[in-house]
Structure 1
Amino acid sequence: MAECSYCGEKVSLPFKCKFCGKYFCPEHRLPENHDCEGLKEFKEKRAKSPEKWIYEPFHPKYREEPVRKIKKPRIEIIQRNIIYGILILITLILIYSLIKGY
């Protein structure tokens, strides 16, 4: 059995404060309910340097330049489509000749 660091109540399942490291009963488990010194120190540190814990998506530091997609020339696209068409046509002719041959 542990003892609440604030009121002295005996508890079987104490809560450990992540700011001060002490153990508390369910009623005093929150830092605000036991006048946590660690919380006060944390808030002071956080107030001194908010840029370390605040994420600003539009901050120049986080902005990336968009990558420009390079378009292929239209002739390459047409040539590729013609080649695909010829390959499909050859495949269909081979399948037809195999079926017709049996």
Structure 2
Amino acid sequence: MSRCDHCGKETALPFTCQHCGGKFCEEHRLPPNHNCVNISSWNAKPRPSVSLNYGKGGVTVTGGGFIPDPRRNAKKTRAEGLPWLKIMAGIVALILLGLALLVMIGYRFG
């Protein structure tokens, strides 16, 4: 267990400040809460955005920035080979042919 550099409280998982390198408890983890010496660098960083606007072509973040939607411009490719419907029709036809053959040779069901 380590102690918070600001209040001295013991914490199992201390937060490390990215601006001053100190170890802090959950109450003092943010730079304004522990009187960080490099608070100016924290103030210069843009705040994380909470809301998203879904629009054409991607997602617009309220705080700025643009997250393109990778699915929007993806090229659709056709699967090579036989379509699954033709394969299933072939399997059903083979089963029916097999049953018809069994009836013709005199096999008794049940």
TM range (shorter): 0.3 to 0.5
Structure 1 or 2: larger helix share? 1
Structure 1 or 2: larger strand share? 2
Larger Rg: 1
Higher relative contact order (CA 8 A, sep 6+): 1
